Amino acid sequence: MATKVETTITPARPELLHVADAVAREKGIDRDEVLTAMEQAIQKAGRSKYGHELDIRAEIDRSSGEIHLYRYRQVVETVENDATQIDPKGAARIDAKYKVGDFIIDPLPPIDFGRIAAQTAKQVIVQKVREAERERQYKEYKDRVGEIVNGLVKRVEFGNVMVDLGRAEAVLRREELIPRENFHQGDRVRAYIYDVRQEVRGPQIFLSRTHPQFMAKLFGQEVPEIYDNIIEIKAVARDPGSRAKIAVVSKDSSIDPVGACVGMRGSRVQAVVAELQGEKIDIIPWSQDPATFVVNALAPAEVSKVVLDEEAGSLEVIVPDDQLSLAIGRRGQNVRLASHLTGWHIDILTESEESERRQQEFKSRSQLFIDALDVDDVVAHLLVTEGFSSVEEVAFVPLDDLTGIEGFDEEVANELRDRARAWLEKRDAELTQKWHELGVDERLAEIDGLNPTMLVTLGEKGVKTLDDLADLASDELREMLPNQKLGEADANAIIMAARAHWFEGQPAPAPAAGAAEAAPKA
């Protein structure tokens, strides 16, 4: 409980309220926050006069501007600070109504602000108003991330442009400027808010003109169909100041998304190009089919064929020989932007390179079957032509797949399968002996997804224990096993299986001594 008693007050000070109203309007903050800052300034001056150890509080009447000054003391069982506390006996001598937890409030005479006190009060008011202004800026702009704003260049510091947004100041860092772009004090600038952070020196509003979404938002301003959500921007890739690609799709089949973004005689896209300092923009129709999307993204180059590897997340694009330089672009720009736009790793080959590679693969696979299955080149060529690429496929495919090949009866098919399985058993035995000799932990062989060939390769590269394997990242494991076509999900599963012993509450035991010597010899 806190009961205030009558006290001598200062005369009405309406000028205080006028000042508070003016500051609130100028800074865009609440009037009450300004008056609270004034109260804290008066409290500080009061403590300077009556004692810094006292709990002195000031109040400004919100209607008249009158200033009240009080000293607060709390009633407590055990007094630790005589300046701000009083025991129940002492409180009872003042008034029997006071209980533990109550505040005794004593009025103080008004203070006459001297020069130093007035200066101190001014500093406190300025500081509190600045803090309130910063808080207002942060609340106003924290939800505006992703918007385009217009401002005036206030100053340029070490290449960073300070932008006056009217009610706040933002920073446009040098690396967020389009190359060869220069601003001077007083220039108008349009930029994208990509981050707003509350830092020690106040809220910081970060702008960008190189962010991919800056271009997307510019199209949203120039193309009504995008603003109305009839056309959707699916992806953007930029090489700021040079070239960009944007993928669009229409939700209305009667509207051409590319044509709408280009505009009559290119008016819409040219408005964006002008804002981006002449950056060349390719507008690409988006497609749900990755192969079609990549073909569109590589425009203006023509594409002959696309080979998709979903597991590896990559695409192989075959182009006519005379289209290679166009597909790759200057310094690889076209294929790099297409890769960023589609999210696929793109490898580009010419038709002659792809033909040469196919012939090489045909020869190498044929030779593999000749050596492994002890057959002549006619049989080997037939297997390759029918799509067989490994001995494992011959060993374990259904019998009908082999008898379906022209000239292969059931006897020939069974013989080929038997030879393939015998060759695989012999190879695995040799590989098993080898990884034992390399000192690879037996428990690695128990992990699903690791075959003897992988174990030998890992052993040769120093990965011999569960901990060695568990310490790898998925991309490191895939780099170690480039010929195994290991997908990222499979690599992660193998590594997590190796880490399983970490969560059992005890370290993995060391490999048994003499494991290599005890290994079976082929």
CATH number, domain 2-137: 3.30.1480.10
Residues of the chain with CATH 3.30.1480.10: 2-137
Report whether pLDDT(407) > 80.
Answer: no
pLDDT of residue 114: 52
Residues of the chain with CATH 2.40.50.140: 142-208
pLDDT of residue 181: 86
pLDDT of residue 208: 93
Burial of 312 (0-12, 13-18, 19+ CB in 10 A): middle
Report whether pLDDT(2) > 90.
Answer: no
Dihedral sign computed on CA atoms, order 339, 489, 450, 515: positive
Residues of the chain with CATH 3.30.300.20: 220-345
Per-range mean pLDDT, top range of 28-32, 203-207, 307-311 = 203-207
Report whether pLDDT(4) > 70.
Answer: no
Q: Of residues 190 and 46, which shows the higher confidence score?
A: 190
Q: What is the pTM of this model?
A: 0.59
Topology classification of domain 142-208: OB fold (Dihydrolipoamide Acetyltransferase, E2P) (2.40.50)
User: Which phi and psi angles does 127 have, rounded to 5°?
Assistant: -65, -45
pLDDT of residue 505: 55
Q: Please tell me the class of the 220-345 domain.
A: alpha beta
**Residues in contact with 480: Cβ distance below 8 Å, sequence separation at least 6, in sequence order:** 457, 458, 461, 463, 472
What type of residue is 467?
A: D
Crossing angle for the helix pair 377-385 and 351-373, to the nearest 10 degrees: 130
User: Which phi and psi angles does 20 have, rounded to 5°?
Assistant: -60, -40
What type of residue is 316?
A: E
Q: What is the DSSP pairing of strand 67-75 with strand 55-60?
A: antiparallel
User: How distant is the alpha carbon of residue 216 from its chain centre?
Assistant: 18
Per-range mean pLDDT, top range of 116-125, 131-140, 166-175 = 166-175
> Which single residue is written with the structure tokens 């190189």?
210
Mean pLDDT of the chain: 82
